[in-house]
Chains A and B, each alone.
Chain A
Amino acid sequence: MEALIRPEFGLTFWTITCFVLLVFVLSKTAWKPLMQAVEERERAIKHDLHSAETARAGAEKLKAELDARMAALKAEIQSRMDEARLAAQKETDLLIEEARRSAGVIVESATREIEAQKAEASRELRAKVAELSVLTAERILVKQLDHRANTDLADKYLAELEKERPDLKLGNN
């Protein structure tokens, strides 16, 4: 049984020789190309990852920029609209104020005109009344009739006069 564990150390020499040679040869022929391929792929993956990350960061930056610009635009639109509303309000107030003022002016001038017309009319009336009285008295004095006849005469003459001078007719003006 002791043959099982009795080593033949000549084989140890073979093993070491064989193994050391294998290490040197395989390092050149097998592991080097393998590791090169693996490292190349790892580099490519890392590069892809990196570029994807950069692209994402760029996209995120762009989005933030656009968002900011959007917000700015929205704010500007809001402020412009407010401004426009304010301006319109001011304009409206101004127009109403002006309209009110000019209406006041018109009313005032109309009132003045009416006053003037009224004064004129009363002055004219007074003159007509005076003239009529004078003319009537003149006729009365000319005819010298009794009171009744005078009165009749006066009426008659008044009618005549009124026919003759329609512009002196009472109650027409």
Chain B
Amino acid sequence: MGLKEILEHHIVDHIWSWAVFGPLKLPISKHLLMMAIASVILLVVFPLIIRSKSRALAPFRAMIEIIVLFLRDEVVVPNLGHKGAAYMGYFSTLFFFILLLNLLGLVPYGSTATGNFAVTAGLALTTFALINFAGIKEQGLIGYLSHIVPKGVPGWLYPLLFPIELVGLVTKTFALAIRLFANMIAGHIVILAFISFIFIFGSFGVAVGLLGVAPIAVGLVLFTLLLELFVAFLQAYVFVFLTAIFTGSAMHPH
């Protein structure tokens, strides 16, 4: 079994069967299961923690509260203004959904749904929809379209800049999807490569692999795993933060 098979086995989605709704052919896969688990946690555990008055759950409530307040005070309101509080539901859900999918990828037998470009593309598309929705709601359709090109640009540049800015809008969200996908997949590939070292060197002799390379490789894997834990939080934050910046600039063009 080569590295190709190993990577594909551990990183690529396993499609178990297909659900067909008319023209729609939808996969039932491991990443969908991960999304379902994350959704169940969000739908059942979060409201339970938030609404419960028990003292035992108070620390968890405080953790959620701190994160949501951080998102409100440091991410959403500074970028979107005070009207941004209405979008808090979107940003909070986005952060915790991405975070849970990232963390589920670190659990044994789990897999990283955010390491699938189809999933991050879906999230980026909703962000794209939100950016345009918020911009049009705030400035009106005509105001939004006329503010796509930055102010102070000479008139003759408009025909050139308008398509560029339009493409830029798409690129920004596309980059959002690629960033999350690449970050989540990279850590896994590095970990698998480190583990493969053991077997590559093991092919020279069992002792070389087991005693020589394995301790170093396992140490590096542990380090990468901790890095991935950090990246799981960081990328969830980055995705939400950039979404807030893009939405804010669509709402307030100056």
A7, A13, A23, A37: the one within 8 Å of B117 (CB):
A7
Contacts of A13 in B (CB 8 A): 24, 26, 122
Is B90 in contact with chain A by the CB < 8 A criterion? yes
**A30 shortest CB reach to chain B, Å:** 5
B12 lies within 8 A of chain A by Cβ: yes
Contact of A22 with B by CB under 8 A: yes
* A26 within 8 A of partner (CB): yes
User: Which A residues touch B116, using CB under 8 A?
Assistant: 7-8, 11
Q: Does A142 contact B (CB under 8 A)?
A: no
Give per-residue flags for B85-111: 1 if the beta carbon is below 8 A from chain A beta carbons, else 0: 000111011100100000000000000
Check B89 against A9 for contact (C-beta < 8 Å): no
Name which residue of chain B comes closest to A34, CB basis: B50
* Interface footprint category on B: 35 or more
A1-50, CB < 8 A from B = 1, 3-5, 7-16, 18-27, 29-35, 37-38
Q: A8-B13, A11-B122, A15-B35 are in contact. Are A31 and B26 (CB under 8 A)?
A: no
Q: Does B126 interact with chain A (Cβ within 8 Å)?
A: yes
B216 at the binding interface (Cβ < 8 Å):
no
Q: Is the CB of A20 within 8 A of B126?
A: yes
Known: A11-B118, A22-B39, A31-B89. A16 touches B125 (CB 8 A): yes
In the complex, chain A residues 76-98 whose Cβ is within 8 Å of any chain B Cβ:
none
Q: Using CB atoms, name the residue of chain A closest to B46.
A: A30
Contact flag A22-B97 (CB < 8 Å), given A7-B117, A16-B122, A16-B126:
yes
Contacts of B117 on A, CB cut-off 8 Å?
Answer: 5, 7
Q: How many residues from A make CB contacts under 8 Å with B?
A: 33
Chain A neighbourhood of B68, CB < 8 A = 31, 34-35, 38
- Is there an interface contact between B42 and A15, defined as CB atoms closer than 8 Å? no
Is there a chain A Cβ closer than 8 Å to B143's Cβ? no
Please measure, in the bound complex, the distance between the C-alpha atom of A10 and the C-alpha atom of B64, giving whole angstroms. Answer: 32
Residues of chain B contacted by A5 (CB below 8 angstroms): 117
**Quick one: which of A12, A27, A37 contacts B93, CB cutoff 8 A?**
A27
B7 near A26 (CB under 8 angstroms)? Answer: no
Question: Within 8 Å CB of A7, what residues of B?
Answer: 116-118, 121
A112 to B125, CA, bound (A): 135
Q: Contact at B12–A3, with CB atoms within 8 Å?
A: yes
> Residue-by-residue, is B182-198 near A (CB-CB < 8 Å gives 1, otherwise 0)?
00010000000000000
Contact string, B43-66, partner A, CB cutoff 8 A, digits 1/0? 100110011000000000000110
Interface contacts beyond A7-B118, A18-B36, A38-B69: sample of 12 additional A-B pairs, CB < 8 Å, sorted by A:
A4-B7, A4-B185, A5-B117, A7-B121, A13-B26, A19-B123, A21-B39, A24-B89, A26-B42, A31-B68, A33-B47, A34-B68
A-B contact pairs, 28 of them (CB 8 A): A4-B7, A4-B8, A4-B185, A5-B117, A7-B121, A8-B15, A8-B27, A10-B25, A11-B119, A13-B26, A13-B122, A14-B32, A15-B35, A19-B94, A19-B122, A22-B42, A22-B93, A26-B42, A27-B89, A27-B93, A30-B47, A30-B50, A31-B89, A31-B93, A33-B47, A33-B51, A34-B50, A34-B68
